[in-house]
Structure 1
Amino acid sequence: MFWYNWVAGDIIALAFTYGVILSILKFLEESAKMELFDLNVLRKLCHVMIGLTLMLCWPLFSSGRTGAILASLIPGLVTTRGLIVGLGMGKDEKIIRSLSRYRNSRELLKATMGYVSTITLATAIYWRTSPAAIAAICNLCAGDGIADIAGRRFGSWKLPYNRNKSIVGTTAMATCGFLASLGYMLYFSWLGYIQESSKMVLGFFIVSVASACVESHPLSTELDDNFTVPLASLLVGSFVL
């Protein structure tokens, strides 16, 4: 629509994408108030929706570096309040309860920083022509997000090397990360940004399995899986995608 003025187009795309994500988060918040799901599910649905919605809106931006930079600002804008609370510069018990696992503001900062920095860097550096960026965001958002929900509900069988993780949760992470990656591969291939292939499908599968294995390791929990999962996705993806 704004090929003749890509700066205006990118600004409008930023405002639109930001508004869409805020609307989705508000809807989830109101649904939680109606007790359609609990706070742990709300936390993980937010985790899933921010990154995947942003990536869905990538084509609205121009293909140059300006489009990538403006798009990369959105995760930080959406989670500004969480960062402020995590830094101790403000108090908001609702945000702490909904976005932190252990109801701790410092943990909120760690988790938010990891999540935001991953999506921001993947957007600004790799942008929409990189299968590795697709894998990193899909495994972080869809994979890790659904893993927690599935693990809490059906995770009675624990992993032998980590009693805090379940077989169902790890399997759900690999499956959902892979399926989301395939969906975005088809989406960006249809738009002409990447070229789909059977090799890429296999590569996405390998990356999702590797990411799930990394997430299930005890060390990943200590370091924060918002850092370790996308890092594993990018490292493995650089070889197989």
Structure 2
Amino acid sequence: MAAVPWPQGSEIALSSRGIVDQKLSRKLVHILAGPGFALCWPLFSAEPNARFFAAIVPCLNLLRVVLLGTGIIDDPKTVNAMSREGDRAELLRGPLYYVLVLLGTTLVYWRESPVGVVVFSLMCGGDGLADIVGRRLGAKHKLPWNSSKSWAGSGAMFLGGSAMAIAFIALFCSLGYFDCDMAAMAAGVATIAAVATLIESLPINQRLDDNLSVPGVVALLGFLLRNALLAA
């Protein structure tokens, strides 16, 4: 999984001070950046155009990623922090997709649908935890269909993504953004998370970035299952 494009300062500080290694710091930002952004959504008004003002944040980060990835901005320290191999071209894949997903989630779903919450939760909390837990606990128990993935990592994705999604849904329901039947919501989230976890574990993700495959599958399932499982 590629690194998250913001906040780079925190990512660089954590690794440069030796608090955590660079790979772990990137993953922690991957997990926290999207939800941190979504936690700011309640600060915006109820006006219909509020989503467009919120979208300025990922738009600015999108511009920065493109400028860094194309070399228009020369910042080797940031490029190294955001990429695996220190190649600025990497920023035009995983980090770029990550920002695009957050931008799309903001514009398409905003605070009006639980589907958007599930999209960023599975990408951030689920996929991010899968890598961290899988690297540390999954060495001996690999998946039979993909030796680069583990049962521990897949379990962390399912549980972490589901927990984040349900927590955000409960928060947004309490704020009155949409009505909730939490039992139906939880069943829908679990179903979507299970399928997304399976997709993330497939060898195809060695060629297709999972910052695209996971949100894409979640959005499709959310559309198909919303009336049956995610509606109030």
Calculate the TM-score normalised by the size of structure 1.
0.85
Specify which structure has the bigger relative contact order, considering alpha-carbon pairs within 8 angstroms and separated by 6 or more residues.
2
**CA distance in structure 1 between the partners assigned to 2:132 and 2:53 by the alignment:** 32
Contact kept, 8 Å, 2:112 with 2:177, in 1: the verdict is: yes
- Structure 2 counterparts to residues 45-194 of structure 1, below 5 A: 45-78=28-61, 80-156=63-139, 157-194=141-178
Residue among 208, 214, 218 paired with 2:203: 218
Q: In 1, are the aligned partners of 2:44 and 2:54 still within 8 Å (CA)?
A: yes
Distance 1:180 1:138 in 2: 6
Q: What is the CA–CA distance in structure 1 between the aligned matches of 2:206 and 2:200, rounded to whole Å?
A: 7
Offset at 1:158?
Answer: 1.4
Shift of residue 79 of structure 1?
A: 5.3
Which residue is equivalent to 2:13?
Answer: 30
* Shift of residue 28, structure 1, vs aligned partner: 4.2
Q: 2:75 and 2:216 mapped to 1: Cα distance?
A: 31
Which residues of structure 1 form unaligned runs of 5+?
Answer: 1-20
Shift of 1:196: 2.3
Looking at structure 1, the residues matched to 204 and 132 of structure 2 have their Cα atoms a distance apart, in angstroms, of: 21
Which residue is 1:14 aligned to? Answer: none
* 1:230 equivalenced with 2:215 (yes/no): yes
Counterparts of 1:97 and 1:219, CA distance in 2: 26
Deviation at 1:25, TM superposition (A): 5.1
Matched-pair contact (CA < 8 Å) for 1:147–1:173: yes
Q: Provide structure 2 residue ranges, at least 5 long, that are not aligned to the other structure.
A: none
Alpha-carbon contact 1:147-1:172 (below 8 Å) kept: yes
Q: Partners in 1 of 2:61 and 2:36 — Cα distance?
A: 12
**In 2, distance between residues paired with 1:167 and 1:96?**
32
Q: Is the 8 A contact 2:111 2:177 kept in 1?
A: yes
| Residue identity opposite 1:174 in structure 2 | F
Q: 2: CA distance between counterparts of 1:29 and 1:61?
A: 29
Cα deviation digits, residues 66-123 of structure 1 (max 9, x gap): 2101112212324543332212323322222222233322222111221011110110
1:140-179 CA-partner distances (Å, limit 9, x unpaired): 1111111111111112121111111111111111110000
* Partner secondary structure for residue 149 of structure 2: strand
Are the counterparts in 1 of residues 158 and 194 from structure 2 also a CA contact under 8 Å?
Answer: yes
Equivalent pairs counted in the alignment come to 220
Q: Secondary structure at the match of 2:20?
A: coil
1:177 counterpart letter in structure 2: G
- Identity across aligned pairs (percent)? 33
Structure 2 contact 129–156 (Cα < 8 Å) conserved: yes
* Counterpart residue identity of residue 170, structure 1: S
